[in-house]
Amino acid sequence: MMAAVREETSSSSHDEPPAPRKKRAQNMAFEEMLELVRIFDSTDYDCRKGPYRRKNNARKDRILDKLRTTILEMFGKDRTKDQLRKRWSDLKVREQEQLRRIRRVIAKQHSEIQDLVQKKDDQLLSRLKEVYVDSTDRSLEMESKVVPTSEQVDHRLPKLTARSEFSALVDVKSIPTGKVSILETLTILGNHRSYPDIWTAEKIAREFNLDVRDCQSLLEYFIPFTVKLIPRTNTKELTET
């Protein structure tokens, strides 16, 4: 009986598939560690220069996301956050000499970039000396043009004034030359409609100091409306009941 139980358990153990093994991460190249240290030092990953407004965990996650994207774009390696944290911890604790070496390389690259930026390019300077630039100041041109102001424009007194409770809305004290008020416009249109042979565009231009073409456009495109009162029909007379 015991032998049968052992045989069943052994057979069932052989039938189960083996557990999948985790893939071992590839070793990180020196160039990858160079970017890791560069980004972590420049962004203060360990929060030594803090405090910061954002919580440390959220801030570190954003830095890790940036590092993962950089390594993927530059080297084609998709590193997990755990791998990057482990690599950074090993550099600080177990591989301090390697960390100092990486930082020396970063400092050297930074100094070379600074020297390249500050270095004078004699060939470029000689070419720039041959360039001749001619420019004019637009402000002087604008000053030479006399722009008429509101004080320089001639004004005239209105020919018509309103006498009603709404006179303040349509009545004006002075009118610039070449313009008419609302009340004058309604009067011009009404006179032209009633007496078109007398109130022509030429007469209106002389009376109100206007341009003849403006008067012609006014009479052509602006037509006053007429209000008609329709008498009631079939009204029933009220009878007393």
Per-residue pLDDT tens for 64-92?
Answer: 999 999 999 988 889 999 999 999 999 99
User: pLDDT class for 36, splitting at 50, 70, 90?
Assistant: very high
Residue 56 has a pLDDT of: 77
Residue 235 has a pLDDT of: 55
Residue 169 has a pLDDT of: 54
Q: How far apart are CA 106 and CA 60, in angstroms?
A: 22
Q: How far apart are CA 64 and CA 58, in angstroms?
A: 10
User: pLDDT class for 101, splitting at 50, 70, 90?
Assistant: very high
User: pLDDT class for 19, splitting at 50, 70, 90?
Assistant: low
Phi/psi for 188 (5° steps) reads -60, -45
Task: Please list, in sequence order, all residues whose beta carbon lies within 8 angstroms of the beta carbon of residue 185, skipping any fewer than 6 positions away.
Answer: 218, 222
Residue corresponding to tokens 């018509």: 160
Q: How far apart are CA 165 and CA 168, in angstroms?
A: 8
Q: How far apart are CA 154 and CA 177, in angstroms?
A: 6
Q: pLDDT tens digits, residue range 124-179?
A: 777 777 777 777 766 655 555 555 555 556 777 777 676 655 455 556 777 888 88
User: pLDDT class for 220, splitting at 50, 70, 90?
Assistant: confident
181 pLDDT exceeds 60?
yes
User: pLDDT class for 218, splitting at 50, 70, 90?
Assistant: confident
